[in-house]
Structure 1
Amino acid sequence: MINVNIPGIQEAFTRMGRELIERCAGETPPVTLEELYGRFLQTNGWAERELRMRLDELHPGVGWSAAELDFVQQQSPEDDGPYWVLDAVDSMMHLHQGMSLWAMSLCLIEGGMAVFSIVYDPHRGEFFHAVRGGGAYLNGTPIRAARKTALSTALLATAPPAVPVPDPAVTEAAARSFARLLPEAFLIRMMGSVALQLAYVACGRLDAYWEYGKSLYNWAAGALLVSEAQGSLTGPGGEPFTWGCTGIIAGHEPLRAQIQAVLHP
């Protein structure tokens, strides 16, 4: 693994988070889909360019994913060498609606594995990072996933399909899973940024997270946090969480297993 300049990356994301908040402060929420997509392209494009420029200065020679929204290409590694997967604004809708619970995420893929990741929440100034084999941290302090074992006491989170034209099978699976887990769990929340919800599982604020889909890059940064915080990760049916999976369950293993049993009896 390359020697990642964590302080430099934290400084870059902290500055960009502050600038995004300032840039969008006082905005009137978008009225039409055209306006929403226009703002997304403008804001995300600007933030991504700025962050890429800084990361290229910190780590010249590391490549970039070209498949953030290409779920087919996400079914296998894009390269054997190191490359970044960047989501400059995860849950862009929240940002442009004047809400919190959006985040910024970055994951380093090397040798077909996630080896380093960050999730940054600009509103709370919280910088989560994980190094494969080196643990997970919140603002430099080690974190650990919650230890709950009973689904009846658990606070779960999920996310609905968020692509412009959802896959009907994924939409159906998401709705069915919510209906099955709602009477079994203590509470279920949908909180915006997927990466941030997984970071909350890693630090114990949420007990578990599940989702259906094929957007591996949407989960990669947060999944490494959970794994390094002694949480468990699988696909929805208990299969390994890896390239080609059709969803994710993340949390303490006894709880993860109970969620799997409810989803796939």
Structure 2
Amino acid sequence: MQEEINILKINDSVKKAGNLFLKTYKQHPIPERTEDLLKKLYQIDECCISFLKVDLAEEFPDTPWLIGDEFDTNAQRNPAEFPEYWLCDAMDGAIQYLQHIPGWTINLALIREGEIYYSVIYDPLADELFWAKKGEGAFMNDIRIQPGNKIDFSSMVAVFEYGHQDKSNNDLIQKTGATIINLLETFGVVRNYGPHGLQLAYVAAGRIDLFIQEDLDTFNWLAGILIAKEAGVEILTTEGQPYYWGSESLLVAKKEAAQKYLQINK
């Protein structure tokens, strides 16, 4: 395990991977059948992780790779049992990519001793790369980022998300519905955008004021969580407790916005 990591090389690799997909964006028909959609999603994962493995092999010859399968609920509850590994959400927002609409990114996180040590999120359409190293701040390209300074809740932008958990045997649908009502009653603008990690990076950069999700979605969150945390944002559960790996909800916002939401959600 390296004491120092080559940040420029990691960021460059993720950008190159994203730009590979940018070249073929909107060049293929939109999938019309479920089997075609699933096949395309698998191909995206394989293409992205294969490229990154090769491109980063010299710098990290012994670091294993895991794909962040958001459909695998159990795997998201705890870190893998490696001292260090790459966790790749090959394309966050792959549905948007296949539907020929914006809102897709390449996300990569380096996990050390069960914690997020480094993460990067690249948006090829905007040519914006968000990244953070544990204890060293958060950046967009080469500029340090920080959350917004809004104090007027009616001007704040809140976003909600939901994952791929089986919602047939729990109350997640009801919780999500109640969450949306609470957001509409509290914040001026409420949206559902799509790429989870990018939304967390947007909170870190002051573009979004609050992110909330009621179900387990660890792999979609991890890269963005470190970026938001390093920018000085609150990382909580929807019950107001500190977030930990495997938490079944996520609330990310500046302290004032998080407290406001928690007050109305009592």
Range into which the TM-score falls when normalised by the shorter chain: over 0.9
- What's 1:58 paired with? 59
Q: Does 1:253 align with 2:251?
A: no
- What's 1:181 paired with? 183
Q: Which aligned segments of 4 or more residues in structure 1 are displaced greater than 6 angstroms?
A: none
Q: Does 1:7 align with 2:31?
A: no
1: distance between equivalents of 2:11 and 2:175?
Answer: 37
Q: Does 1:40 align with 2:41?
A: yes
2: distance between equivalents of 1:79 and 1:151?
Answer: 42
1: distance between equivalents of 2:174 and 2:3?
Answer: 41
- What's 1:25 paired with? 26
Read off the aligned partner of 2:4 and give its amino acid letter. N
Give me the CA root mean square deviation.
Answer: 1.8
Read off the aligned partner of 1:64 and give its amino acid letter. W
Q: 1:26 Cα deviation (Å)?
A: 2.5
1: distance between equivalents of 2:86 and 2:264?
Answer: 35
| Aligned residue-pair number | 263
Distance 1:80 1:34, change over 3 A: closer
Read off the aligned partner of 1:121 and give its amino acid letter. D
1:55-87 deviation digits (Å, cap 9, x = unpaired): 233212222236533221222221251111111
Alignment check: 8 A CA contact 1:249 1:260 kept: no
Read off the aligned partner of 1:141 and give its amino acid letter. I
- What's 2:80 paired with? 78
Q: Percent identity between the aligned chains?
A: 25
1: distance between equivalents of 2:11 and 2:92?
Answer: 17
Comparing 121-130 and 235-244, the one that deviates more: 235-244
Alignment check: 8 A CA contact 2:67 2:90 kept: no
Structure 2 segments unaligned to the other structure (5+ residues): none
Q: 1:233 Cα deviation (Å)?
A: 0.7
Alignment check: 8 A CA contact 1:105 1:120 kept: yes
Structure-2-length-normalised TM-score: 0.92
What is the SS of the residue equivalent to 1:65? strand
Structure-1-length-normalised TM-score: 0.92
Q: 1:234 Cα deviation (Å)?
A: 0.4
- What's 2:115 paired with? 113
Alignment check: 8 A CA contact 1:107 1:117 kept: yes
